[in-house]
Structure 1
């Protein structure tokens, strides 16, 4: 396991060296190496800071501390606005501490990519659906950053703009744009420092210890590898592929719901399939809330629901790819 950490550190050092070359004359491979360095830096560096998330008219500030000891990752995110919600993560496991009335509700979940670790380790699939070009050197959180434009090759995904720290290689700012070049959301560091402390006393919640702690485990999902006798998937939107499928029990539902996850390497889309409930009008239609598109339809006696941070056309295409069998 220590060798894994050593290899990761070597890969990061190599990418850092490549990215230090003049971006004005950078080849296409060198541009992707800068992005690859950013994907590695979010996991291989130890850092602390504050970043601001902006979506529509809403914004929130988050304090982050991340530590990598060469083998394991630890992170603690603290919401600085409103209720003092905290998220502690180790590897792919998240524990959320959320005050509710006189209780502290503890929720366990599987981790998702959280800023600044928004990029996959393997960019091969991303390269198939996006082009990459460089912009100017700009300042973010008092640091110089190389601007990179990640642009889709079609209308089935959004575009992204990243500000990459020219020294650390870390993403300092990330902005998502829709197909009309309107900003969907923005996440940006306002403070950032590298740390080298090995003391993990900070890796514990700081929420009021006088309140009662209540555990609310996420309903366990069961891997689902068997083809369904009731439905199948026809052709998916270009660039998207199925990356996971599971069965979930949901409170108030008598039968498990099938949850299928699709990705183009960066964007993620969830498909939910369940029997139509007797006496309940099936849902049909589409909507957009913030940066998330929703689409609902019916196939046979199945209720189809698709959502993701992608254009409406993408969630509609995935919903319509579900074919009812019997």
Structure 2
């Protein structure tokens, strides 16, 4: 066999070997909803990109651009900028979240963890939530011109909503997310319009581009104080807490336009969250009843001289049940209907 023939044969065999290896890799690609969630969790910290997406709620659609940098040392850093409506900007790193609001001439800084809308509904897995949610792989689709896998997270009772998720088949990144009622209505949608994968981003791409001269800077308390009680020492509780929900955080929190801080209780079932705000009742602000803002349901009531507001992207019956069964640890009286 001539030397050129041997080289051709080696090249041919290498091509076959590469095809076999690719087929093996494909066979190991995610199959279950749990697999896709796990892969997407890993993908969040592995891929840098620039993208445009829409956020649709009620009859309103916001268009946003996002710059995301994933670095082994610096972690995940993001900048979001509104492309429609009032200019707004959100900048996040591993330490804090900064919101620039030109219409209010304010810069809000908080040390709490925050996730972009495309990630906000992603649990790390479903194994801990199976009594209340179950996953199902629906099939293939396309989002922003890219092949995706559609996965459903179905709620097992009427206390929470379900989700439809579209994962990029190449990277595992979440490309589209929908919040869905038990009747199948889409309450909220976040969807990529385009995405450019990057090896890395320039530092300036992650810096604020909005002028902030003369803006009021409001910084949430970054360190615990005497007002931050351990969860097991909470002075408030929800007597009729829906199955799966647990108290994850309690703290004093300043609210925009309010002179006094409110007590903030955050409950979660691992996917859905409900916030309850408690502050002293004032005669001119006695509010009671339900309100819906897109996927967000709000229920307001009073209890023993306190105004109680429960809100979350859950059914209205859930926030009402939690607000009306709130009670102080030293009292058996519940909030008034």
- What TM-score results when the alignment is normalised by the length of structure 2? 0.80
1:40-62 Cα distance to aligned partner (Å, 9 max, x none):
31233211111111112111111
| C-alpha separation in 1, matches of 2:237 and 2:286 | 20
Q: Among residues 313, 318, 325, which one is paired with 2:322 in the alignment? A: 318
1:77 aligns with 2:80: yes
Residue 210 of structure 2 aligns to a residue in which SS? Answer: coil
| C-alpha separation in 2, matches of 1:150 and 1:214 | 42
| C-alpha separation in 1, matches of 2:34 and 2:92 | 28
Q: How does 1:24-173 map to 2 (within 5 A)?
A: 26=31, 30-71=32-73, 72-100=75-103, 105-109=106-110, 110-118=112-120, 119-121=122-124, 123-173=126-176
Superposition RMSD in Å: 2.5
Q: Among residues 236, 244, 248, which one is paired with 1:243 in the alignment? A: 248
1:266 aligns with 2:271: yes
| C-alpha separation in 2, matches of 1:195 and 1:117 | 19
- Check 1:106–1:22 CA distance in 2 against 1; reply closer, same or farther (3 A cut): closer
* Equivalent position of 1:3 in the other structure: none
* Equivalent position of 1:285 in the other structure: 289
Q: Among residues 212, 233, 237, which one is paired with 2:238 in the alignment? A: 233
| C-alpha separation in 1, matches of 2:128 and 2:320 | 22
Offset at residue 217 of structure 1 (A): 1.3
| C-alpha separation in 1, matches of 2:209 and 2:256 | 30
| C-alpha separation in 2, matches of 1:121 and 1:206 | 33
Residue 192 of structure 2 aligns to a residue in which SS? Answer: strand
Offset at residue 201 of structure 1 (A): 2.2
> How many residues are matched?
299
Any unmatched runs of 5+ in structure 2?
A: 1-23, 332-337
1:305 aligns with 2:309: yes
1:212 aligns with 2:199: no
- Check 1:158–1:19 CA distance in 2 against 1; reply closer, same or farther (3 A cut): farther
Contact (CA 8 Å) 1:36, 1:123: kept in 2 or not? Answer: no
| C-alpha separation in 1, matches of 2:35 and 2:25 | 7
Question: Quick check: which has more Rg, 1 or 2?
Answer: 2
Contact (CA 8 Å) 1:31, 1:134: kept in 2 or not? Answer: yes
Contact (CA 8 Å) 1:92, 1:112: kept in 2 or not? Answer: no
| C-alpha separation in 2, matches of 1:113 and 1:89 | 8
| C-alpha separation in 2, matches of 1:56 and 1:206 | 29
- Check 1:117–1:234 CA distance in 2 against 1; reply closer, same or farther (3 A cut): same
Stretches of 4+ aligned residues off by more than 3 angstroms: 17-23, 120-128, 226-229, 249-256
Offset at residue 204 of structure 1 (A): 1.1
Residue 322 of structure 2 aligns to a residue in which SS? Answer: helix
1:40-87 Cα distance to aligned partner (Å, 9 max, x none):
312332111111111121111111111111132111111111333221
Offset at residue 18 of structure 1 (A): 8.6
Any unmatched runs of 5+ in structure 1?
A: 1-16
Offset at residue 306 of structure 1 (A): 0.3
Contact (CA 8 Å) 1:259, 1:272: kept in 2 or not? Answer: yes
- What TM-score results when the alignment is normalised by the length of structure 1? 0.83
Residue 100 of structure 1 aligns to a residue in which SS? Answer: helix
Contact (CA 8 Å) 2:126, 2:133: kept in 1 or not? Answer: no
